[in-house]
Amino acid sequence: MLILHPNDIPSSEITPLEHYRDRRRFMQGMGILAAGAALGVAADVHAGIKLAGVRASAYKLDENATPYKSVTTYNNFYEFGTGKRDPAENAGSLKTRPWTVAIEGEVGKPGEYDIDALLKLAPLEERVYRMRCVEGWSMVIPWVGFPLHEIIRRAAPTGNARYVEFVTLNDRRQMPGQRSRVLDWPYVEGLRMDEAMNPLTLMAVGLYGEVLPNQNGAPIRLVVPWKYGFKSAKSIVKIRFVEKQPLTAWMKATPNEYGFYSNVNPQVDHPRWSQEKERRIGEFFKRDTLMFNGYGDQVAQLYRGMDLKKFF
């Protein structure tokens, strides 16, 4: 399979020199993190490396962001354990260099992107998104990344590409949680093509203006803010364009609890709990859960005419 290095990219696809220098500073920071992982050092969630040249975005909220410490020490990432604190404690074993992302399936331009080249596809921007966990807690996170449609456009999907499937790293040595049978590894997620092309759908490489910590899905992850958090696959190594709806990891494990769409919908309860309320991390009282997590104006048209209780 073709490996795309910086020199293989047409000049029209290369970002300006000042952005390139910013990326180099970013990559140097990633190298430091990778070196720490190679030495067996646990991820230090308090010593993030700043990303330079991140531009402002129209995607922001008039809400307080969840503290950085909470975002990086309380999350789900079953590849490192099922406890909320496990990812921060165990993710130091993940090596984010070298790293490639394969583009496969129904596309005119398949290939394998080295992460250095991938980060040059579009300028990085900060987007502040609400994120809602299916378990009932939520956060507001300033992500850094670029729209997924930048990858899709360059991949040139064929007319048979109706869905996009995301596959994450499967390495039991680096991801100790994969030694358990809680899920059938590797972790697989998917979106319908129009969902993947929506401007909100983000490929994130950082948060709070800093390099994405291992425990939050380094070096590159998906962020789909109108869906429950488990849809946002972490540590992605493969993006496949397919004709049939992918069988995702949680659908395979418990199909009666986790549907393909997984849109935030307070009117559809999880079989074991209500979705009407949520607790924002750092707050005592619960708040009402918003339809599509508050992004209805941007995404509701994608589901016009669909029974959202049947297609949950």
Domain positions in the chain are 3-301
pLDDT at residue 45, as a whole number? 36
pLDDT at residue 292, as a whole number? 98
| CA–CA distance, 106 with 72 (Å, rounded to integer) | 36
| Residue 123: cis peptide before it, omega within 30 degrees of 0 | no
Q: In 10 A of CB 263, how many CB atoms?
A: 25
Compute, in degrees rounded to 10, the torsion defined by CA atoms 109, 115, 118, 119.
Answer: 180
pTM to 2 decimals? 0.85
pLDDT at residue 160, as a whole number? 98
| CA–CA distance, 224 with 220 (Å, rounded to integer) | 13
- Angle, alpha carbons 231-232-238 (nearest 5°): 105
Q: Which residues of the chain have pLDDT under 50?
A: 1-47
| CA–CA distance, 202 with 222 (Å, rounded to integer) | 6
Among the listed residues 228, 229, 208, 211, the one whose alpha carbon sits nearest the alpha carbon of residue 220: 211
Residue carrying structure tokens 């331009």: 109
Decide: helix, strand or coil at residue 271.
coil
**Strand 137-147 relative to strand 111-114, pairing:** unpaired
Q: How far is CA 234 from the centre of its chain?
A: 5
pLDDT at residue 226, as a whole number? 99
pLDDT at residue 10, as a whole number? 42
**DSSP state, 120?**
T
Q: Identify residue 288 by its one-letter amino acid code.
A: D
Among the listed residues 261, 246, 267, 272, the one whose alpha carbon sits nearest the alpha carbon of residue 299: 261
| CA–CA distance, 186 with 206 (Å, rounded to integer) | 23
Question: Please, are residues 19 and 53 in contact by the beta-carbon 8 Å criterion?
Answer: yes
pLDDT by residue (tens digit) across 141-169?
999 999 999 999 999 999 999 999 999 99
pLDDT by residue (tens digit) across 56-74?
999 999 999 999 999 999 9
pLDDT by residue (tens digit) across 170-206?
999 999 999 999 999 999 999 999 999 999 999 999 9
Query: Mean pLDDT in the chain?
Result: 88
| CA–CA distance, 304 with 178 (Å, rounded to integer) | 38
pLDDT at residue 118, as a whole number? 86
* Class in CATH terms, 3-301: alpha beta
pLDDT at residue 46, as a whole number? 32
Among the listed residues 194, 164, 197, 147, the one whose alpha carbon sits nearest the alpha carbon of residue 304: 194
